[in-house]
A and B are shown apart, each in its own frame.
Chain A
Amino acid sequence: MAHPHERRSGGGLDRREFLLRSLGAAVALPSASAILAACAKPGEGGTGSAGAVGTGGVDLGGPYPIPTADSPVTWTIYDDVPPIADGLKVEEGATLQIYNWDQYIWKKQVEKFCEKHGADYKITTFQNMDEALTKIRTGELKFDIFFPTSDTFGKLISSKLLQPLNHSYIPHLEENVWPQLVNPYYDQGSLYSVPYAVYTTGIAYRRNVISDEQIYGMSNPYDILWDPAHKGRSGVYDSYRDTMSMSLLHLGNENVNTDKQEDIDAVEADLLDLIDKVDVRYSINGAYKLLPENQYDVHLSWSGDIAAGWFYVSKDTAYEDLGYWFPEDRRGMIGNDTMAIPTNAEHPVLAHEFLNFMLSFPAAMDNFAWVGYQPPQNEAQPSTLTTTESVWGEPYIWPWMEAAVVRKEDFERGLPQWELTPDVDDMWHDAWQNFRAGAK
């Protein structure tokens, strides 16, 4: 059976193609001549204008336009990366290759899907987006489904690492998903992605140590992470955007996508202060696992993490001990993850079917019950999520952490995190590196 894209040999071609455009030299040579090639110095030469990658957005002079809530972007569909044709049959005997965060999808759902299509599956995990982008960039690994965050599309599309979706395979997208996420600012028309889960970023806390009244009564609740009373028991995510944005909000700066050096310097100082005051530690599982296990009293948290925390409670923790704070005016960090299909996927038809499956109401809600992250399903009324029983017989979100429920309106008031241009990104990364090294 002909491959729907009838394409070239695998992976590295994307990067090679990209470099070809920049260098105008035959970099796609065997590596021996790569050493000897005395052509243009690598990295120089134009990369094409930002407009060639997408229309709309904010052009900050970088290689791709920046999608913002006010300036949405419609990404280009390249001629050499077309979507698959309509009406193709699902690949037989395939192994669905999924590249995802750790513990971010319920395997039972994947199994259910695979049974239906006579396929097998394999999930490779990554610890953070940087690592994922690095591995995808090499083009050597052929994943079928990838879960990029919504702020990586500039990089991915400009390097042609994702293929455009053929919506004829994904009817559930328009039927089931919140309208503003069917046509999100970072990917108008959902050309390359479909939404996976929505979440807010707030603070998870142990309600037996910090009462609801205490934290909701504070003038600057982010301060609780800096409170020396919780020395050694306070944590942040090992994720530069989330933690640094939280620090920006802590300092009263709502521009969580700032490109100003002064802002970043203030954040760096603030975070180093965090080390001094509370011996902060960072983790990626602090909110959903370590806090319920009584290793932290307070931790930066995505709403889905703490919602799933009850799986991991230690013997001296009750479900009611887990709490979540988010600004009451809902002006906090909000975001969503997406699902996309890499260009070099070996089973694109199966991948499309998988996306459709995960967007169906039963699959999405069951997955929600296990992962804790809310899917933007129209049928799931947010006000009922604390009372409706999931497949476990418990509410999707516990009533005492109602702040973790995400509503459509939150996207209007909340502060999403946009993509940063490469040099601004460097600025953020440098500050983050200094924090991680405990630098003085």
Chain B
Amino acid sequence: MRSSDALEPTKSERRRAEREAANETGVWYPKGYWKRFATPGTLWMVLFFVVPFYVIVSVAFGTVDPVFRSPLPVYQPWWWSFDAAAEAVGKIFGPFRQSYIRTFVFVVLASSMCLVLGYAVAYYVSRFGGRRRTLFLVLLISPFWISYLMRMLAWRSLLTNDGYVNDFLSFMHLPAVGWLEGEPVTVVLGLVYGYIPYMILPLYGFLDRIDSALLEAGRDLGASPSQTFWKVTLPLSKPAIAAALVIVSLPMFGDYYTNNMLSNSPRTVMIGNILDDAVNTSGQGPEAAVFTLVLMTMLLIPMLYYLRSTARELARR
């Protein structure tokens, strides 16, 4: 109600009187009211998210301290030097080409496996979950609050030479495998294990919201369950699948700890490892910055795609 202690009318009271006089109705807020709400957040994002990218650019095109080889950022664009950047990009197409290609291969493999397995699980829980749906959901959401590291730690312990997986294999009279000895399979499976919850939940959310009238219509027209699936459900899911694939593969491109924990061998080096090494090596600050920018550029299109599809989704609801 009114802030009645003031003798002078407050600004809002004055505006209210104005509007009453002009016969306006409806919800109103003072001009620029909402901007004030968003300002602290916007300021924070600009300072601590946008500015750092400029610093990265300045480091990428900057120089290096003569003694310690630590990066010296150059903020003035007219002094930017592109030698280090050219060299770094050259390295991507030269010695590191294999690692970049390998990362793509890993990510594609891991994302596809996530998709196949994740879709099956999401489909089952959303369509046939029934009374146990809440239980399933809790179990499916749980990896989100079990730290990624703990899950990798769990697998690492299982996969050691004297761990339970090898024990099981020898129990089945199969030869033991050196899982942690630089095997790409281990890393790919690790990625799948780590990131599949990001696939399942959005797919579940989407499948849950499919209008069942569409599916019933398919049935009524004589389609069998598998036909309904292939001709109705799957085409409808395409945007959701695309978005889920993006959200699963993006973190994989920046992943370095999975390889470090499960393999740590030059045979399974990923883009994240190259970046991480460059940051921690003296004299390679500009290179690290260039690699970061390259990675951002590579991922920009999928990121934008994901953002647009979420925005569309939000607008639709």
Residues of A within 8 A of B (CB): 18, 22, 34-35, 38, 41-43, 47, 63-64, 128, 130-131, 133-134, 137, 155, 158-159, 232-233, 275, 279-283, 293-295, 314-316, 422, 425-426, 429, 433-440
* A275→B263 CA distance, assembly (Å): 14
Question: Is there an interface contact between B266 and A275, defined as CB atoms closer than 8 Å?
Answer: yes
Question: Is there an interface contact between A279 and B74, defined as CB atoms closer than 8 Å?
Answer: no
Q: A134-B280, A438-B99 are in contact. Are A232 and B72 (CB under 8 A)?
A: no
* A315→B67 CA distance, assembly (Å): 48
Residues of A contacting B263 with CB < 8 Å? Answer: 281
Question: Is there an interface contact between B181 and A232, defined as CB atoms closer than 8 Å?
Answer: yes
Shortest distance in angstroms between B262's beta carbon and chain A's nearest beta carbon?
11
7 shortest interchain CB distances as A-B pairs = A439-B95, A438-B266, A43-B63, A281-B265, A42-B72, A232-B181, A434-B95
* A212→B66 CA distance, assembly (Å): 47
* A233→B180 CA distance, assembly (Å): 11
Shortest distance in angstroms between A51's beta carbon and chain B's nearest beta carbon?
15
* A64→B95 CA distance, assembly (Å): 32
Tell me the B95-141 residues at the A interface (CB within 8 Å): 95-99
Among A134, A137, A316, A436, point to the contact of B266 (Cβ < 8 A). A436
Q: Chain A residue with minimal CB distance to B73?
A: A42
Question: Is there an interface contact between B162 and A315, defined as CB atoms closer than 8 Å?
Answer: yes
* A34→B55 CA distance, assembly (Å): 12
Question: Is there an interface contact between A130 and B162, defined as CB atoms closer than 8 Å?
Answer: no
Q: Chain B residue with minimal CB distance to A127?
A: B280
Question: Is there an interface contact between B161 and A295, defined as CB atoms closer than 8 Å?
Answer: yes
Shortest distance in angstroms between A261's beta carbon and chain B's nearest beta carbon?
15
Q: Chain A residue with minimal CB distance to B58?
A: A35
Shortest distance in angstroms between B80's beta carbon and chain A's nearest beta carbon?
10
Question: Is there an interface contact between B68 and A133, defined as CB atoms closer than 8 Å?
Answer: yes
Shortest distance in angstroms between A53's beta carbon and chain B's nearest beta carbon?
9
Is B70 an interface residue when CB atoms closer than 8 A count as contact?
yes
Q: A314-B162, A438-B98 are in contact. Are A42 and B62 (CB under 8 A)?
A: yes
Question: Is there an interface contact between A283 and B264, defined as CB atoms closer than 8 Å?
Answer: yes
Shortest distance in angstroms between A231's beta carbon and chain B's nearest beta carbon?
9
Interface residue stretch chosen among B204-212, B231-239, B244-252, B281-289: B281-289
* A196→B148 CA distance, assembly (Å): 38
Shortest distance in angstroms between A22's beta carbon and chain B's nearest beta carbon?
8
Among B65, B73, B182, point to the contact of A279 (Cβ < 8 A). B182
Binary interface profile of B, 243-272, with partner A (CB < 8 Å = 1, else 0)? 000000000000000000001111101000
Residues of A contacting B264 with CB < 8 Å? Answer: 281-283
Among B95, B265, B281, B284, point to the contact of A280 (Cβ < 8 A). B265
Q: Chain A residue with minimal CB distance to B263?
A: A281
Among B79, B94, B278, point to the contact of A41 (Cβ < 8 A). B79
Residues of A contacting B72 with CB < 8 Å? Answer: 42-43
A-B CB contact pairs (8 Å), 9 listed: A42-B74, A43-B65, A43-B66, A130-B281, A134-B282, A279-B181, A279-B265, A295-B181, A437-B266
* A173→B132 CA distance, assembly (Å): 72
* A35→B75 CA distance, assembly (Å): 6
Residues of B contacting A35 with CB < 8 Å? Answer: 75
* A294→B180 CA distance, assembly (Å): 12
Question: Is there an interface contact between B180 and A295, defined as CB atoms closer than 8 Å?
Answer: yes
Shortest distance in angstroms between A286's beta carbon and chain B's nearest beta carbon?
10
* A130→B178 CA distance, assembly (Å): 31
Number of A-B contacts (CB under 8 A): 125
Most chain A CB within 10 A, of B73, B266, B269, B281, is at B266
Among A295, A425, A436, point to the contact of B160 (Cβ < 8 A). A295
Among A232, A293, A429, point to the contact of B182 (Cβ < 8 A). A232
Shortest distance in angstroms between B255's beta carbon and chain A's nearest beta carbon?
15
Is B64 an interface residue when CB atoms closer than 8 A count as contact?
yes
* A281→B266 CA distance, assembly (Å): 7
Question: Is there an interface contact between A155 and B283, defined as CB atoms closer than 8 Å?
Answer: no
Is B83 an interface residue when CB atoms closer than 8 A count as contact?
no
Question: Is there an interface contact between B99 and A64, defined as CB atoms closer than 8 Å?
Answer: no
Question: Is there an interface contact between A433 and B180, defined as CB atoms closer than 8 Å?
Answer: no
Question: Is there an interface contact between B269 and A425, defined as CB atoms closer than 8 Å?
Answer: no
* A34→B74 CA distance, assembly (Å): 10
Is B23 an interface residue when CB atoms closer than 8 A count as contact?
no
Among B62, B162, B267, B278, point to the contact of A438 (Cβ < 8 A). B267
Question: Is there an interface contact between A42 and B66, defined as CB atoms closer than 8 Å?
Answer: no
Residues of B contacting A159 with CB < 8 Å? Answer: 67-68
* A335→B316 CA distance, assembly (Å): 68
Question: Is there an interface contact between B67 and A63, defined as CB atoms closer than 8 Å?
Answer: yes
Tell me the B140-181 residues at the A interface (CB within 8 Å): 160-162, 178, 180-181
Residues of B contacting A437 with CB < 8 Å? Answer: 95-96, 98-99, 266, 269, 273-274, 277
* A283→B97 CA distance, assembly (Å): 23
Q: Chain B residue with minimal CB distance to A43?
A: B63
| Sample of 11 further A-B pairs with CB below 8 A, known A232-B181, A281-B266, A426-B69 | A43-B63, A279-B267, A281-B265, A282-B266, A294-B162, A429-B282, A435-B266, A436-B269, A438-B265, A438-B267, A439-B96
Shortest distance in angstroms between A315's beta carbon and chain B's nearest beta carbon?
7
Residues of B contacting A435 with CB < 8 Å? Answer: 266
Question: Is there an interface contact between B98 and A439, defined as CB atoms closer than 8 Å?
Answer: yes
* A323→B251 CA distance, assembly (Å): 43
Binary interface profile of B, 37-74, with partner A (CB < 8 Å = 1, else 0)? 00000000000000000000000001111111110111
Is B76 an interface residue when CB atoms closer than 8 A count as contact?
yes
Shortest distance in angstroms between B11's beta carbon and chain A's nearest beta carbon?
34
Residues of B contacting A133 with CB < 8 Å? Answer: 68, 282
Question: Is there an interface contact between B74 and A294, defined as CB atoms closer than 8 Å?
Answer: no
Shortest distance in angstroms between A426's beta carbon and chain B's nearest beta carbon?
5
Residues of B contacting A426 with CB < 8 Å? Answer: 69, 283
Shortest distance in angstroms between B114's beta carbon and chain A's nearest beta carbon?
25
Question: Is there an interface contact between A429 and B266, defined as CB atoms closer than 8 Å?
Answer: no
* A41→B65 CA distance, assembly (Å): 12
